[in-house]
């Protein structure tokens, strides 16, 4: 990095950095140690950082990870470079307090560093930080670059502002689909709210051996839909962990019905499920119409040699994927729109899960309920004891649409089957 730029950074009280891959080498990080990081620790500077997304770093690697490039740089190295530089801003509490680091889901069209006095610019295809140059106010690029920087950084200090294109570095990344269900890239979770695009999710509807449906009440301090009754289990497809929705469903089951229970219940000796993925059998699509009322009797064969209470859970997938608008109600009363593509799974527990067993969970609110009774509670917004019964938009959708009929079908089939009760 050229000395004039370092001196400018050193003498400025406010710095904005757009794009970090070009300055994220060990050499330039060392240059910034005295010109930037030491003053951040002392509270002498404030710094905004807008970094490239994984998507953009991958695109950049297509240009740099070749024999023709001046310096060959792989995608993995670009990710690690960014990680180390961002880590410098998080190294101490003082640095964190005096800096604001975000990832941009938008493609950054240039590298730029804005100081108190100057606007430094570097074309996006130039990976040499020594080549930053000052844009003068009469330069044709000056206004457009300045405007774009303001778009990216406007309101960064407002904590409750929602961004579609900016996120903190540790925020979850999800695959985004357009309205034709075509994948369009990896984006921060917040990019999905209040848009017309989709994320891929799974819903698990868990049934006991008596044909009752498991529902749970969201925590009073949940980030949305606080205190509302919800479907058994739900989550998203993690593109880094699984390639199918039934794999995602097993992971979510274990997270929701084992891992979180163990944490919330402070490590008690009982749980609905284990952390062993082999404890759940995936048996394909739910197709009662093909096999008739004795559809579930084959489960007897799977557990004939197992002791009561140690049976595997079994899981079926609803044959169709459907789309759904699922608003999230925030604590402040506002709603965030979220559109999802949903794969629904029907899960039958082992014989352990009963009403009596659920009473053991003092800190988690689970309930087994007959589907027809649940339908009345959802419609009337009160339960049998005349207590208020608020449900999430997802559970309301489930109990008032096509899925309600299928739930009744699954529940009734369980009741009349010869599986172990």
**DSSP letters along 367-409, please?**
EEE-HHHHHHHHHHTB-TTS-B--B-HHHHHHHHSHHHHHHHH
- β-pairing, 328-329 vs 335-336, is antiparallel
Q: How far apart are CA 11 and CA 7, in angstroms?
A: 6
* pLDDT at position 213: 97
Q: Please answer whether residues 199 and 341 qualify as being in contact, where contact means their C-beta atoms are separated by less than 8 angstroms.
A: yes
Cα separation, 404 vs 371, whole angstroms: 8
Provide the pLDDT for residue 157. Answer: 65
How many other CB atoms are there within 10 angstroms of residue 182's CB atom? 9
> What is the structure's pLDDT at 396?
94
Contact 44, 13 (CB under 8 A): yes
pLDDT of residue 363: 58
Residue 230 has, within 13 A of its CA and on its CB side, a CA count of 25
| HSE-CB of 12 using CA atoms within 13 angstroms | 24
Six-digit token pair at 93? 């509490």
Low-confidence ranges of the chain (pLDDT < 70): 157-163, 259-271, 362-364
* Chain length of the chain: 421
Predicted TM-score (pTM) of the model is: 0.80
The 8-class DSSP code of residue 412 comes to: H
CA nearest to 9, candidates 116, 165, 151:
116
Give which of 297, 323, 334 is closest to 413, Cα–Cα. 297
Note the pLDDT of residue 16: 97
Q: What is the pLDDT of residue 264?
A: 60
Q: What would you report as the CA-atom Rg of the chain, rounded to the nearest whole angstrom?
A: 27
> In 3D, which of 112, 96, 194 has the Cα closest to residue 152?
112
Contacts with 332 (C-beta within 8 Å, 6 or more apart), sequence order: none
**Residue 295: what pLDDT?**
85
- Map residue 366 onto helix, strand or coil: strand
Give residue for tokens 């649409």. Answer: 401
């Amino acid at each position: 990095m050229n000395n004039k730029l370092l001196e400018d950074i050193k003498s400025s009280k406010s710095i904005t950095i757009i794009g970090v891959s070009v300055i994220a080498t060990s050499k330039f990080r060392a240059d910034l140690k005295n010109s930037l990081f030491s003053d951040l620790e002392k509270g002498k500077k404030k710094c905004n950082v807008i970094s490239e997304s994984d998507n953009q770093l991958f695109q950049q690697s297509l240009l740099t990870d070749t024999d023709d490039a001046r310096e060959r740089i792989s995608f993995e190295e670009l990710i690690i470079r960014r990680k180390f530089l961002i880590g410098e801003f998080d190294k101490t509490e003082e640095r964190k307090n005096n800096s604001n680091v975000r990832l941009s889901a938008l493609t950054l069209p240039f590298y730029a560093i804005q100081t108190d006095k100057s606007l430094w610019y570097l074309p996006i295809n130039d990976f040499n930080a020594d080549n930053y140059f000052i844009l003068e106010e009469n330069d044709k690029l000056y206004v457009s670059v300045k405007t774009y920087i303001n778009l990216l950084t406007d309101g960064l200090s407002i904590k409750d502002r929602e961004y579609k294109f900016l996120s903190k570095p540790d925020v979850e990344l999800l695959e985004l689909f357009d309205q034709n269900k075509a994948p369009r890239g990896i984006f921060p979770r917040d990019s999905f709210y209040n848009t017309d695009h989709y994320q891929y999710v799974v819903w698990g509807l868990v049934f006991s051996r008596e044909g009752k449906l498991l529902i749970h009440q969201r925590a009073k301090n949940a980030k949305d839909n606080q205190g509302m009754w919800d479907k058994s289990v739900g989550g998203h497809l993690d593109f880094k962990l699984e390639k199918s929705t039934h794999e995602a469903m097993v992971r979510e089951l274990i997270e929701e019905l084992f891992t979180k229970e163990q944490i919330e219940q402070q490590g008690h000796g009982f749980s609905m499920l284990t952390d062993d993925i082999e404890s759940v059998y995936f048996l394909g699509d739910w197709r009662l119409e093909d096999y008739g009322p004795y559809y579930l009797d084959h489960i007897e064969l799977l557990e004939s040699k197992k002791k009561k209470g140690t049976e595997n859970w079994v899981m079926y997938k609803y044959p169709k994927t459907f789309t759904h608008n699922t608003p999230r109600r925030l604590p402040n009363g506002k709603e965030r729109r979220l559109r999802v593509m949903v794969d629904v799974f029907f899960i039958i527990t082992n014989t352990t899960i009963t009403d009596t067993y659920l009473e053991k969970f003092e800190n988690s609110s689970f309930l087994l309920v007959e589907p027809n009774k649940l339908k009345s509670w959802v419609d009337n917004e009160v339960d049998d004891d005349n207590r208020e019964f608020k449900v999430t938009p997802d559970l309301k959708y489930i109990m008032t649409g096509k899925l309600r009929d299928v739930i009744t079908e699954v529940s009734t089939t369980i009741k009349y089957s010869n599986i172990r009760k």
